[in-house]
Amino acid sequence: MLYVLAVLLAASGADEHLLTGARAFRAGEYAKALVEFRVAEKLGGPGEASWYAAAALQKMGRAEDALIAFANAEASAPNARDALLDYYRALACYDARLYLCAQRLLVQVGDAGGPRIGDMARKTRESIDKLFQTPPARGAVDWYREKAQVAKAAKRESLAALYTAEADALQARLAK
């Protein structure tokens, strides 16, 4: 009984921090939002808070950290994902120059995130399509492979996997 009560109290505490984080996020106070989401995660376990923390990292301009956080969130709380979070994840991919990763996510987002997000997703997709109007350079593939090496050396395996996947996809395009 005490255990159930403790869990309920912790959960309500987590919700409170989740809401505080969401308010901070809307106000553009992303560092504060990130801390609140992390506190919510500590109190309530992985869930929405993990995804929002990743979105806050994207907003703070830390694309690689955001991508690792998104990968962790997906592994620990796959059901808490939604179209808006996928949009932020796509932006993190875009910021990290993982354009094919961004494109794949933006296709999934479509209009599911509402007309405003749908419109922004479309514009981002168009800018990626423009980037790929000319064939990728051989050096680009090497750049992604090097980034994968660095991420692997730093034991950031999920990030290394993203860079490797991008390099493989680009190489396949080069081969065509």
Partner 1 sequence: MIALLLALADPCAPPPAAAARDPASARVYVEVGENAAGPTEVLEAFREALRLDPSNARAQAGFQAACRPGDDRFEKARARMDAGDRAGAIAIFEQLRPMPAAALLEGICLYELEQDDAAETALLEAQADDATADAARFFLGLLARRRGQQAEAEQLFTEVAQGNSSVADQARRLLKPTRLSVSALAESGYDSNVSLAPTNAPLGGDALGSLAAAVVWRPVEGLFVRASGFYRAQPTLSDYDLGALGGTVGYGWGPLSAEYDYDFVALGNAPYLSANRLGLAGRLPLGAWTLSAGYGARFENYRTSVTSVFSGTLHGWQIAAALRLSREASVEIAYRFARDWTDEAATTYFEHGPAAVLRFGSGRVRLSIEASAAFRLYEAFDDSVGVQQQDSILDAALLGEYDVDPRWTVRLALGGRDQISNVDELTYTRAYATLGVAFAAGL
Contacts to partner 1 by CB under 8 A:
13, 31-32, 34-35, 38-39, 42-43, 60, 62, 64-65, 142, 145-147, 149-150, 152-156
6 or 131: whose CB is closer to partner 1?
6
C-beta of 121 vs 151, nearer to partner 1: 151
Q: Based on CB atoms, which residue is closest to partner 1, 63 or 109?
A: 63
Concatenated DSSP letters of 51-79: HHHHHHHHHTT-HHHHHHHHHHHHHH-GG
| Minimum CB–partner distance for residue 162 and partner 1 (Å) | 15
Minimum Å gap between C-beta 50 and partner 1 is 13
Angle formed by the axes of helices 83-95 and 99-109, to 10°? 160
Closest separation in Å from C-beta 150 to partner 1: 5
Q: What is the largest CA-CA distance in the chain?
A: 64
CB-count burial class (<10 Å; 0-12, 13-18, 19+) for 163: buried
